[in-house]
């Protein structure tokens, strides 16, 4: 990855007012120098830290050709955690198009938006299947439109994999089985084919070749979509926009044969339609009253022609001035206030948080009380001042509660970072023994100052995480474990859950179960409805059902119900036939008796005469 850094010197005036630290730049010459260099070098994107080193008077800008490179740089720089010091290094990298920075430094004013422009924009976006991101809003969009700034959008589409796939790959996935699941993963394409059958032969051949898994790999058979660059996640699965996992082969223990064997599973088929989503960039052309779409290198593109896609997690999606370029509205108090709020602790701690920051102590704690169901949950939030700046960080919190009907009190310490965070309710659900489904950043081990440390990368993977109550660390915390291979939606489909009949109810049910909730639902069996509670059970690849008194229920799968119904119908038909045969036999016996009686009467009559 090639980038260039320019040190921006700026005289700053600091003013503390209501916990807000403002910074004013009086020298723009160095920023203009960077922008001219960006034009020469062909850089489309600029990255900089919204938390520059306090008191140094310097800010570093980085230039990149693509948004994918810029976002990866931000993700890497923002997720460096010192495990020995138990402190996050202060970094808040963001990126935006170089053109947007030009508009900021030149103080480009917002032009009048033509009448009907917003309506025309909405119609064009609906027609082309383009949507705003979830965190964008109308007023913010108007500012971007009026200045003709570039902003991110998304595009979703349903494709036919059978016609979209033109390459098939056999991928070997290796991991060391390290305690930290993210460490030691590697993927390698064993071979590639233009036809699916040849790829399947290779896939099966590897399983036959390594009957005892002597090469320590799992294998995947994947299809790559034409025109897309292949991107694999930590497990070797392709990102949804570029390909599809068809089959997997894992070497695991089989309880039926009491030994380890290859377990081959069909994940997807080419004849199943798939939803894909792309992220791209847009600019509103005021002269033409039309939205222009661009790829991550800011080249004009149609969404269906995109080769790469990356969620713009660190994109600056707001109107900029030279003043807030320097400070990015990332005030320490506001940042911590929002972090506490969105992790599920609400807004009740804001005043106390502000007072503690004003006191400028090296560290402080906040107490939080809440109730989940009948359980009272107490948490202690730990904040610490950075050793390198005046910034405070929310490092961890202790959670404790006594489950209803139990004498023992459960307690767990959870660490908080810039990535891979769970909410308070999700942590509570884990402490109750349930699992949570999340997207995590892969960690890698790096050497820094002669020490080996773990830091997050831009690679992500999805997994269920659950506490192991049989294992604890040195501080008595239960260890978390990652669980893979459990498809919640497919598992739900095996049971007679009424909410699955409506797409909205179905999506809400799945989302709640993925958060680790004990979710209310309705079972339909033998024409009757029953209210139940459901919990995901990924460790056993199944579900747990409870009645209103939290007593476990044994629920039959839909297939078993149908089998019983068919068997019942078959038995009923057999009984009906037997009953009919019996009646016919009785009729024949009666007729025979009548015939014999008449014959006997005739014989008696002949004797008399």
Say if residue 298's pLDDT is above 90.
yes
**Measured between alpha carbons, how far is 590 from 581 in angstroms, rounded to an integer?**
14
Under the banding of pLDDT at 50, 70 and 90, the label for residue 329 is very low
Say if residue 7's pLDDT is above 50.
no
Q: Could you report the per-residue pLDDT of 204-251, keeping only the tens digit for each?
A: 999 888 888 888 889 999 999 998 989 888 788 998 889 999 999 988
- pTM score, two decimals? 0.48
pLDDT at 588: 63
**Measured between alpha carbons, how far is 393 from 389 in angstroms, rounded to an integer?**
11
Domain contains 564:
no
Average pLDDT over residues 376-393: 84
- Residue given tokens 């990332």 in the structure block: 330
Domain count, the chain: 4
Q: Which tokens hold the place of 589?
A: 């016996």
Instruction: Identify the H or E element spanning 565.
Output: helix 558-608
Tell me if 186 sits within 8 A of 309, measured CB to CB. no
pLDDT at 566: 56
Give me the helices (H) in 156-195, please.
161-164
**Is 207 in the same domain as 117?**
no
Give every CB contact of residue 433 below 8 A, 6+ residues apart in sequence.
466, 467, 469
3-state class (DSSP) for residue 450: coil
pLDDT at 296: 92
Which of 536, 555, 574 represents a domain boundary (last residue)? Answer: 555
- Residue given tokens 């390198």 in the structure block: 388
pLDDT at 144: 77
Tell me if 58 sits within 8 A of 51, measured CB to CB. no
Say if residue 184's pLDDT is above 70.
no
**Is 75 in the same domain as 149?**
yes
Torsion angle of the four alpha carbons 337, 341, 346, 348, in this order, in degrees rounded to the nearest 10: 0
Q: Could you report the per-residue pLDDT of 17-71, keeping only the tens digit for each?
A: 222 222 234 346 667 778 888 888 999 999 887 665 444 445 678 899 999 899 8
pLDDT at 289: 82
Q: Could you report the per-residue pLDDT of 386-427, keeping only the tens digit for each?
A: 776 667 888 899 999 888 777 778 889 988 876 668 889 999
Domain contains 603:
no
DSSP secondary structure of 42-57: T--EEEEESSPPTTT-
**Is 154 in the same domain as 165?**
no
Domain contains 524:
yes
Domain contains 237:
yes
Domain contains 149:
yes
Distance between first and last Cα of the chain = 127
- Reported as half-sphere exposure (CB side, CA atoms, 13 A), residue 386 has a value of 16
**Is 412 in the same domain as 538?**
no
Q: Could you report the per-residue pLDDT of 467-492, keeping only the tens digit for each?
A: 988 888 888 888 888 888 899 999 99
Domain contains 569:
no
R_g over Cα of the chain: 33
Higher-pLDDT residue of 8 and 149 is: 149
* Window from 163-167, 258-262, 532-536, 539-543 with minimum mean pLDDT: 258-262
**Is 371 in the same domain as 466?**
yes
φ, ψ (nearest 5 deg) of residue 156: -115, 145
CA of 532: how far to CAs of 69, 102, 426, 535, in Å?
48, 59, 21, 10
pLDDT at 608: 34
Higher-pLDDT residue of 353 and 595 is: 353
**Is 234 in the same domain as 304?**
no
Q: Which tokens hold the place of 515?
A: 């958060």
Higher-pLDDT residue of 591 and 243 is: 243
**Is 468 in the same domain as 350?**
yes
Average pLDDT over residues 5-13: 33
Under the banding of pLDDT at 50, 70 and 90, the label for residue 2 is very low
Tell me if 51 sits within 8 A of 389, measured CB to CB. yes
**Is 293 in the same domain as 379?**
no
Under the banding of pLDDT at 50, 70 and 90, the label for residue 6 is very low
**Is 339 in the same domain as 367?**
yes
**Is 416 in the same domain as 514?**
no
pLDDT at 324: 46
**Is 392 in the same domain as 403?**
yes
Q: Whole-number mean pLDDT of the chain? A: 78
DSSP secondary structure of 316-350: --S---HHHHHHTT--HHHHHHHHHIIIII-STTH
Higher-pLDDT residue of 142 and 396 is: 396
Domain contains 565:
no
Give every CB contact of residue 277 below 8 A, 6+ residues apart in sequence.
154, 155, 156, 157, 240, 241, 309
Domain span at residue 244?
161-272
φ, ψ (nearest 5 deg) of residue 576: -65, -40
Domain contains 212:
yes
* Window from 202-206, 265-269, 523-527 with minimum mean pLDDT: 523-527
């Amino acid at each position: 990855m090639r980038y260039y850094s320019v040190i921006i010197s700026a005289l700053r005036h600091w003013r503390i007012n209501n916990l807000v630290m403002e910074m004013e730049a009086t020298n723009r010459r160095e920023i203009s120098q960077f922008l001219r260099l960006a034009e020469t070098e062909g850089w489309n994107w600029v990255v900089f830290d919204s938390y520059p080193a306090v008191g140094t008077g310097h800010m570093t800008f980085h230039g990149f050709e693509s948004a994918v490179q810029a976002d990866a740089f931000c993700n890497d720089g923002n997720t460096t955690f010192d495990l020995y010091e138990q402190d996050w290094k202060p970094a808040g990298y963001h990126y935006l198009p170089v053109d947007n920075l030009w508009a900021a430094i030149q103080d480009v004013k917002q032009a009048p938006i033509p009448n009907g422009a917003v309506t025309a924009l909405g119609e064009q976006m609906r027609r082309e299947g383009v949507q705003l991101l979830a965190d964008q809003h109308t007023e913010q969009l108007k500012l971007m439109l009026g200045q003709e700034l570039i902003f991110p959008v998304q595009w979703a589409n349903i494709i036919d994999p059978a016609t979209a796939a033109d390459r098939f790959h056999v991928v070997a996935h290796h991991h060391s089985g390290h305690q930290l699941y993210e460490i030691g993963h590697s993927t390698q394409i064993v071979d590639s084919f233009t036809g699916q059958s040849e790829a399947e032969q290779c896939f099966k051949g590897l399983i036959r070749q390594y009957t005892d898994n002597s090469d320590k790999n799992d294998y995947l058979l994947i299809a790559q979509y034409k025109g897309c660059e292949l991107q694999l996640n930590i497990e070797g699965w392709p990102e949804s926009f570029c390909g599809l996992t068809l089959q997997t082969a894992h070497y695991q223990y089989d309880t039926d044969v009491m030994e380890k064997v290859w377990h081959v599973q069909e994940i997807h088929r080419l004849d199943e339609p798939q939803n894909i989503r792309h992220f791209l960039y847009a600019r509103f052309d005021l002269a033409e009253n039309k939205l222009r779409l661009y790829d991550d290198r800011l080249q004009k593109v149609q969404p269906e022609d995109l080769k790469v896609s990356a969620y713009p997690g660190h994109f600056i999606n707001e109107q900029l001035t030279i003043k807030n370029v320097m400070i990015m509205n990332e005030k320490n108090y506001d940042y911590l206030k929002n972090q506490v709020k969105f992790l599920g602790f609400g807004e009740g701690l804001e005043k106390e948080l502000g007072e503690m920051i004003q006191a400028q102590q090296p560290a402080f704690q906040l107490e939080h009380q809440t109730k989940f169901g009948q359980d009272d949950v107490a948490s202690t939030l730990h904040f610490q001042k950075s050793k390198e700046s005046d910034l405070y960080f929310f490092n961890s919190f202790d959670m404790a509660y006594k489950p209803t009907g139990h004498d023992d009190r459960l307690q767990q310490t959870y660490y908080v970072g810039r990535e891979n965070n769970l909410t308070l309710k999700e942590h509570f659900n884990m402490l109750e023994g349930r699992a949570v489904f999340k997207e995590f950043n892969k960690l890698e081990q790096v050497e820094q100052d002669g020490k080996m440390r773990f830091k997050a990368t831009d690679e992500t993977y999805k997994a269920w995480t659950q506490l192991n109550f049989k294992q604890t660390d040195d501080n008595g915390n239960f260890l978390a474990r990652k669980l893979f291979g459990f498809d919640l939606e497919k598992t739900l489909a095996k049971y007679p859950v009424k909410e699955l009949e409506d797409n909205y109810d179905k999506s809400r049910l799945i989302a709640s179960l993925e958060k680790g909730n004990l979710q209310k639902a309705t079972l339909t069996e033998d024409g009757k409805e029953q209210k139940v509670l459901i919990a995901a059970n990924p460790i056993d690849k199944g579900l747990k059902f409870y009645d209103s008194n939290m007593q476990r229920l044994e629920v039959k799968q839909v297939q078993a119900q149908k089998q019983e119904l068919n068997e019942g119908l078959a038995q009923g038909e057999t009984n009906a036939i037997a009953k009919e045969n019996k009646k016919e036999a009785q009729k024949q016996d009666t007729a025979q008796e009548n015939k014999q009686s008449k014959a006997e009467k005739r014989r008696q009559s002949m004797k008399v005469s």
